[in-house]
Amino acid sequence: MLISTFIILGLVTLSILIHYEALLRLSMVMKHIHILPRLRIVIGLVGALTAHVLEVLVFAFAYYFLGKSEQYGELVGSVSGTLSDCIYFSFSSYTSLGFGDIIPMGTLRYVAGVEALLGLVLIAWTASFMYVEMQRFWKVP
């Protein structure tokens, strides 16, 4: 269980670092480009969504490789434990949709729970970031 805890902490840390760096870079880019505010917001949202996809992929690869090792559990209901099944499951966990067609077993249950909590926090962080950026560039009459 101790190794599982360190794996989960590593996944969380990596995801937070990806998100931090993405928002930092987006903030710098959006400050220095001279385009319409609408396009700045589009750039911000596309960049933030790209960060979210990378974070989902981090967890998807964890599900894939941890699922190959029998000591961490498996994803039940997936066709064959393919990477695409892991990506699909990771998206549904990250966004807290949890369709239920793929069910984690063993330690992967904890990974999925932490991913759902982390997704909630990082999506809120993105919303906060975009609000600040919109306030900076939108001029209200």
Cβ atoms 49, 18 nearer than 8 A:
no
Residue 66 and residue 98: Cα distance in Å, rounded?
19
Other beta carbons within 10 angstroms of residue 69's beta carbon come to 11
Name the band, by pLDDT with cuts 50, 70 and 90, for residue 64.
very high
pLDDT score, position 33 = 84
Q: What is the CA radius of gyration of the chain?
A: 17
Domains of the chain: 2-137 (1.10.287.70)
Other beta carbons within 10 angstroms of residue 68's beta carbon come to 10
- This prediction's pTM: 0.91
Residue 1 and residue 3: Cα distance in Å, rounded?
5
In the block, which residue shows the tokens 């974070």?
Answer: 55
Q: What is the dihedral of CA 31, 136, 15, 10, to 10 degrees?
A: 90
Residue 126 and residue 105: Cα distance in Å, rounded?
30
Q: Which of 19-33, 73-87, 93-107 has the lowest mean pLDDT?
A: 73-87
Name the band, by pLDDT with cuts 50, 70 and 90, for residue 80.
low
pLDDT score, position 141 = 60
Residue 139 and residue 76: Cα distance in Å, rounded?
51
pLDDT score, position 140 = 65
Q: Which residues lie below 8 Å from residue 130, measured CB to CB, with a gap of 6+?
A: 41, 44, 45, 48
